[in-house]
Structure 1
Amino acid sequence: MSAVHLVRSDALAAAPYAYASRVEPGAELIFLAGACPLADDGSTVAVGDVAGQARRCVENMLVALVAAGAGLADVASTRVLVASSERRDLVAAWEVVRAAFGEHDVPSTLMGVAALGYEDQLVEVEVVAAVRRG
């Protein structure tokens, strides 16, 4: 069982995600660096393809979670950054990330930004997770 509990409220508009998460006392917090759409050689994948880059971000995020001793159910929040001012691009990235989480509809922030760090990078996914140890 995860140390993360999703919080919902009937007093807020229905949304396809939890509005908050609560982490059990004593859980270890894990802060992942932003997962980027990078191939194993460090090159940017899916140049010009927001959804393709989001898929690679999710793949890299999963690898980082496992390396930290966590999984998707341990994620307490995400931030999805998209280098675009076009709502359709933000939605394209969000749909990929949201699908990856399935039933664990973690609270998220979706943001359009002016630029991201790697050449040709359009998407980045930040994650905070929490796990019980011992």
Structure 2
Amino acid sequence: MQNDIRFLRADHYPDLTDTVDYAYAAVVTAPRTVFTAGACPLDADGGTVALGDYAGQARQVVRNLEAALAGAGASLTDVVKTTVYVASARQDDLVAAWEVVRAAFGDHDAPSTLLGVAALGYTGQLVEVEAVAVAR
């Protein structure tokens, strides 16, 4: 199975920052399954965008998730599971992020888990989304 797994790092993604020290996605070729790292609200220079704005960060997270999926040969419509992390104990904050993520998927209703967490990895980070996709 090891030969059927490929980890995609920053050199596969011209639209994503290369300042991160992790793979953006893993591709399993039989079947072609894509596991993404948590998409973060980072710009191309590695800076956290939309500080203090849950919806704004969620929009950047979705853009980065779409870029990571595209680099792995998949799209949002190939996603079979997401996990949405929101750095807040307030349900209103979770909902603000969730509404942006959910809208991006449109009619594609992949199962998802929405979690409020104490903190996320980058300074000022409020939202993160990881996904599993089965590419066609």
Q: What band does the TM-score fall into relative to the shorter chain?
A: 0.7 to 0.9
Q: How does 1:115-134 map to 2 (within 5 A)?
A: 115-132=119-136
1:106 and 1:94 map into 2 onto residues whose CA distance is 13
**What is the root-mean-square deviation of aligned Cα atoms in Å?**
0.7
**Partner residue of 2:14?**
none
Q: How does 1:2-13 map to 2 (within 5 A)?
A: none
What number of residue pairs does the alignment pair up?
Answer: 107
Q: Which has the higher contact order (CA 8 A, sep 6+)?
A: 1
Q: Which of structure 1's runs of 4+ aligned residues deviate more than 4 A?
A: none
Deviations 1:67-116 (A, max 9, x none): 00001111000000000000000000000000000010110000000000
Identity among equivalent pairs (%): 65
Question: What are structure 1's unaligned runs of at least 5 residues?
Answer: 1-25
Report the TM-score, using the length of structure 2 for normalisation: 0.77
SS in 2 for 1:58: helix
Q: How does 1:77-96 map to 2 (within 5 A)?
A: 77-96=81-100
Deviations 1:7-61 (A, max 9, x none): xxxxxxxxxxxxxxxxxxx521110010000011100000000000000000000
Relative to its length, the structure with more helix (as a share) is: 2
Report the TM-score, using the length of structure 1 for normalisation: 0.78
SS in 2 for 1:126: strand
